[in-house]
Amino acid sequence: MLDTINEFFGFTKTDYADLVKKGAIILDVRSKGEFASGHVKNAINIPLDQLPNNLTRLKDKNKTIITCCASGMRSGSAKSLLLKNGYTDVHNGGGWMSLNEKI
């Protein structure tokens, strides 16, 4: 149970730098305004409330996706939504600033 909770909030020992090096997509689910104030380089911005209607922007369901937001809550919800829609390799990167330091 604790592993599931840690994974949901992005507290696992995932090597995000390696995932990015291998071509992972970074999906920032904060609002457009939050994203404009700073974000991980090359991240795609699809706000969480708009994600269900924009899944076609993430064409390859087998491509690695790292979700991020401000704290890890919205990115955890985005991860769950993506997994429920058939995406197979999704990681919650947590807060974007923390993720940025890891990559």
Q: What is the pTM of this model?
A: 0.87
Q: How far is CA 40 from the centre of its chain?
A: 11
Q: Which residues pair with 27 in a beta bridge?
A: 44, 67
Q: How many CB atoms lie within 10 A of CB 10?
A: 26
pLDDT tens for the chain, residues 1 to 103: 555 566 555 565 789 999 999 999 999 999 999 999 999 999 999 999 999 999 999 999 999 999 999 999 999 999 999 999 999 999 999 999 999 999 9
